[in-house]
Structure 1
Amino acid sequence: MEAAEMGAVGGATVLELRHHSFSSAPSKSREEEADALLPSDAARVASLQWRIENYRLIGSAAAASKAQVPVSSGAKLRTLNYVATVGLGGGEATVIVDTASELTWVQCKPCDSCHDQQEPLFDPSSSPSYAAVPCNSSSCDALQVATGMSGSPACGGADRPACSYTLSYRDGSYSRGVLARDKLSLAGEAVDGFVFGCGTSNQGAPFGGTSGLMGLGRSQLSLVSQTADQFGGVFSYCLPLKESDSSGSLVLGDDSSVYRNSTPIVYTSMVSDPLQGPFYFLNLTGITVGGQEVESPGFSSGKVIVDSGTVITSLAPSIYNAVKAEFLSQFAEYPQAPAFSILDTCFDMTGFREVQVPSLKLVFDGGVEVEVDSSGVLYFVSSDSSQVCLAMAALRSEFETSIIGNYQQKNLRVIFDTSASQVGFAQETCGYI
């Protein structure tokens, strides 16, 4: 199913979301896939912690039409995350959907050093609407904040007439190129003059076989900000459970009639922080396991990021340890198994025909309760159930920021309303096909 096939649904533009796992090689075992997936996720968490602190340093120094885009697993493209296909300059690009990134970028010809991607590289010379962004522009001025980088100028000298960008991630992956403008198509909705990164040097395992990344963060160059006149600064997604034969959706705009939620939408306020950079912060005030409230002093300062690009939820140690203790208490009938990578609460379920998985609820400001889908509570390291782990991890320090990952967001409609500064949640079955 291509993005255009979903198109306008009930007055909204919908993009298909597909799941994207780390490896599509059939010869790989479940353990091998997990061994590749989890360290990469840990590297992203570390990268986000660095970026959060960097934005604080930078900050202290200085309703229209709707679109619905299909979103699905990136499994076939060898990435952990969820991907969507968009139109760009007459061609198509399949990009990772990332709420913690600002700049949208794709790999471009001529490519000095590019990761292998499934689709043809974007060719600026074949697009009549393509134009490089000049140095003396507001978009170039916004680049430093958008990329979380400070220091070297993006432009300067006869050899750099266009606005250059560099995105570096803590796991060693990166994207470098120039800022450009071109026509973006979101399931039939056109965005003229969309500013994006035309990357000619890009490397990193997390990108898999995708064309690049869609930045849905809160900054001037993000897709959300650039389309605010069209979509009102509102978007939502529903992430499917399956890695194949199932698609969720990314909805741009506030037309809730296209949602398929089975429970009412409940909203909690975003944390107001002038130094928050592009991230979506909420206050996590509690967690319940099997209906039992977990007690932890960490909830008194429980600021968390809701992130579509992190897989496993990572919590402050005081909160995680309390959740772990309660889960172990309720799961005591199952033998424990060794830890695996970042997951340290594991069980051997070999021989058990039925498993009663305790419910897991996240509680946010205003008493907003969000129940995690049962598939998002446990992570099956091994296909024979000999190593099954609680799908949450502890951060290294109490001073780091907790992150709600996409593994715990499956089968939820998550609404980001930047105009009203709130995030909404509702139960929804996200497998659309």
Structure 2
Amino acid sequence: MATRDLAGVPPLPANDENMGLEGSKGDDGDDNGAPAVDWRPPRRPLSAPLSSLQGWGGGNGAESGATILELRHHGGGGGGLGKSGERSREEELGGLFSSDAARVSSLQRRAGGGGGSWAEDEAAAAAATGRVPVTSGARLRTLNYVATVGLGGGEATVIVDTASELTWVQCAPCASCHDQQGPLFDPASSPSYAVLPCNSSSCDALQVATGSAAGACGGGEQPSCSYTLSYRDGSYSQGVLAHDKLSLAGEVIDGFVFGCGTSNQGPFGGTSGLMGLGRSQLSLISQTMDQFGGVFSYCLPPKESESSGSLVLGGDTSVYRNSTPIVYTTMVSDPVQGPFYFVNLTGITIGGQEVESSGFSAGKVIVDSGTIITSLVPSVYNAVKAEFLSQFAEYPQAPGFSILDTCFNLTGFREVQIPSLKFVFEGNVEVEVDSSGALYFVSSDSSQVCLALASLKSEYETSIIGNYQQKNLRVIFDTLGSQIGFAQETCDYI
């Protein structure tokens, strides 16, 4: 159980990191009198069979041949949460959680085997066998992490998403586009740009990725392959399938297939679009199989530290900076259930106490970079909630907020004892959640601090491990080896 000092520092880092929230601390550094939380406890080694432990990180990738994209906090406008004068903090948080719930609903529809539109509101960013900056989308007003990549002769800042199959960016001339910080991609300025025809294999793959019964084609002798991606919350992207040069921290991918969107609407937070890291023929991972071997990893940075994380493409573990050994669990393959990365969740411990629930028998969960709050089937969530309440009983409860129904009033407490939270995956692989991922500060004065987990509606839905519980973890996706790895790491891109 970790002790947290609640005096003198803003209690908002938990919100700010992966959520796209600015927090109560102003850009000038003032703490506005808010209480404080030290969110960086000493890390304890993970427990796992010796056979599942592998390597300790080291090096900076300079001599490794790895391409490393920075996942960084975007410095663009947007202002602090609740500072615009137009919406209160609670209103903005409510909107963020509503969007997260819509994403979860979209994931459930796909994971349940149903047809319909391609995945969610957020997406994935490109990276190469090395370091590419990965940034919190906070100031871009998006829920997730962003990275900047080269496309054609320009740059694009895209949302990183492991549940999206197709990369798309906004293109000029745009009939209807969401607000974007920076210029639109202009196909006319790129000599290597070309639209793909309807009879291309990529257009066939697009039909599979989007769940469309048939591709849409324009007129002419070689009609272009068009796409429509619609999301659960009503946002969408429409355009043509094309290819161009993609640059990932200097690594150039010729003929990269993506969507060139000329009609796009939704809460994409000033970004250029989305880049898909999901499991499909058109995802970044599949298109760069020869270069990176189907392996990528990320370390998602905490917002309050103003640090950047990294998105690494390729299997060179020497570029990681993990402080504990990597532990691997088996990746569950399910081609019927979309582009998702599944693992078997066999247990959860709270403060070292094993949670008892029949819901663990279902096993399979999605590890997702785009969902914020971890959502569990009701039987598991209720058991976790009961155990947490038992161990957190000395603190008064507060009303729930949006999808978070277990909240506390921590005003007047200088320190709090936060029970540790661990996920146990197949193979007895234990992954401890960073202490900042256990609680979510809804109010800036600590009067409403919530357990950062949510319940799904049905036992038949699929649990999702969200990015809020993945902070300061190196998460490795090895698609050819069919395994996902975890290690503690302070996410700081250099």
TM superposition score category, shorter chain reference: over 0.9
- Calculate the aligned-residue CA RMSD, in Å: 2.1
Q: Does 1:10 align with 2:69?
A: no
Matched AA of 1:371: E
Name 1:299's counterpart in structure 2. 360
Matches of 1:244 and 1:226, distance apart in 2: 34
What corresponds to 2:212 in structure 1?
A: 150
Deviation at 1:36, TM superposition (A): 1.9
Query: Is it true that 1:105 corresponds to 2:181 in the alignment?
Result: no
2:111 aligns with one of 52, 59, 82: 52
Shift of 1:183: 0.2
State percent identity of aligned pairs: 80
In 2, Cα distance between equivalents of 1:245 and 1:386: 25
Pairwise CA distance, 1:151? 2.6
2:407 pairs with 1:346: yes
Aligned length: 420
| TM-score computed with the length of structure 2 as normaliser | 0.82
Match of 1:309 in 2: 370
Q: How does 1:136-215 map to 2 (within 5 A)?
A: 136-147=199-210, 149-155=211-217, 157-158=219-220, 161-205=223-267, 207-215=268-276
User: After TM superposition, what 4+ stretches of structure 1 lie above 6 angstroms from structure 2?
Assistant: 20-23
Query: In 1, are the aligned partners of 2:133 and 2:493 still within 8 Å (CA)?
Result: no
Are 1:22 and 1:36, in contact at CA under 8 Å, matched by a contact in 2? no
Q: Which residue of 2 aligns with 1:400?
A: 461
Aligned to 2:98: 39
Secondary structure of the 2:112 match is helix
Deviation string, structure 1 residues 257-290 (Cα, Å, up to 9, x no partner) = 0000000000000112231321101100000000
CA 1:241/1:378 → structure 2, altered by over 3 Å: closer, same or farther? Answer: same
In structure 1, runs of 5+ residues without a counterpart are 1-5, 59-64
| TM-score, with structure 1 as normaliser | 0.93
Paired residue type of 1:380: F
In the alignment, the residues of structure 2 paired with residue 20 and residue 397 of structure 1 have an alpha-carbon distance, to the nearest angstrom, of: 36
For residues 161-310 of structure 1, what are the structure 2 equivalents within 5 Å? 161-205=223-267, 207-242=268-303, 245-310=306-371
Distance (Å, rounded) in 1 between the aligned partners of 2:372 and 2:63: 29
1:25 and 2:79 aligned: yes
| SS of 1:246 mapped into structure 2 | coil
How far apart, in 1, do the equivalents of 2:421 and 2:265 lie? 37
Structure 1 residue 50: Cα displacement: 1.2
Q: Secondary structure at the match of 1:142?
A: helix
Structure-2 separation of matches of 1:138 and 1:160: 14
Whole-Å separation in 2 of the counterparts to 1:145 and 1:259: 34
Distance 1:420 1:184, change over 3 A: same
Mapped to 1, the partners of 2:318 and 2:288 lie a distance apart of 20
**Counterpart of 2:418 in 1: which secondary structure?**
coil
Look up the SS of the partner of 1:356 in the other structure.
strand
Indicate how the Cα distance of structure 1 residues 159 and 389 shifts in structure 2: closer, same or farther if over 3 A, else same.
farther
- For residue 299 of structure 1, give the secondary structure of its aligned residue in structure 2: helix
**8 Å contact kept, 2:130–2:319:** no
Measure, in 2, the Cα distance between the counterparts of 1:209 and 1:85.
Answer: 13
CA pair 338-22 structure 1, distance change in 2 beyond 3 A: farther
Alpha-carbon offset, residue 160 of structure 1: 8.5
Structure 1 residue 37, shift from structure 2 partner: 1.1
**How do 1:63-82 and structure 2 match up within 5 A?**
66-82=129-145
**CA deviation vs aligned residue, 1:69-124 (integer Å, no higher than 9, x gap):** 11011111111100000000010000000000010110000111110010100000
Going from structure 1 to structure 2, the CA distance change for 1:186 and 1:9 (only over 3 Å counts) comes to: farther
Aligned twin of 1:3: none
Is the Cα contact below 8 Å between 2:61 and 2:318 reproduced in 1?
Answer: no
Q: Do the aligned partners of residues 79 and 57 (structure 1) sit closer, same or farther apart at CA in structure 2, a change above 3 Å counting?
A: closer
Q: d(CA) in 2 for partners of 1:138 and 1:24?
A: 41
Give the superposition deviation at 1:68: 2.0
Q: 5+ unaligned residues in a row in structure 2: which ranges?
A: 1-59, 118-127
User: Match of 1:428?
Assistant: 489
Distance in 2, Cα, partners of 1:228 & 1:298: 36
SS at 2:348's partner residue?
Answer: strand
1:345–1:389 CA contact under 8 A, matched in 2: yes
Q: How does 1:108-123 map to 2 (within 5 A)?
A: 108-123=171-186
Query: Where does residue 19 of structure 2 map in the other structure?
Result: none
Cα offset, 1:24, TM superposition: 3.1
Label 1:19 to 1:41 Cα distance change in 2 as closer, same or farther (>3 A). farther
Conservation of the 8 A alpha-carbon contact between 2:347 and 2:360: yes
Which of 450, 457, 472 is the equivalent residue of 1:411? 472
Aligned partner of 1:61 in structure 2 is: none
Shift of 1:146: 1.2
**Per the alignment, do residues 32 and 13 of structure 1 end up closer, same or farther by CA in structure 2, a change over 3 Å counting?**
same
Q: Residue deviations 1:106-164, cap 9 Å, x none?
A: 000011111001010000000010000111111000011112x2334332544981101
CA distance in 1, matches of 2:441, 2:306: 20
1:298, 1:342 → 2: CA distance?
20
> Is 1:9–1:258's contact at 8 Å kept on the other side of the alignment?
no
Tell me how far apart the structure 2 counterparts of residues 325 and 237 of structure 1 sit (CA, whole Å).
32
Query: Structure 1 CA distance, aligned partners of 2:132 and 2:426?
Result: 30
**Paired residues of 1:7 and 1:69 also in contact (CA < 8 A):** no
For 2:314, give the aligned amino acid: G
**Secondary structure, aligned partner of 1:177:** strand
User: How far, CA to CA, are the matches of 1:432 and 1:317 in structure 2?
Assistant: 37
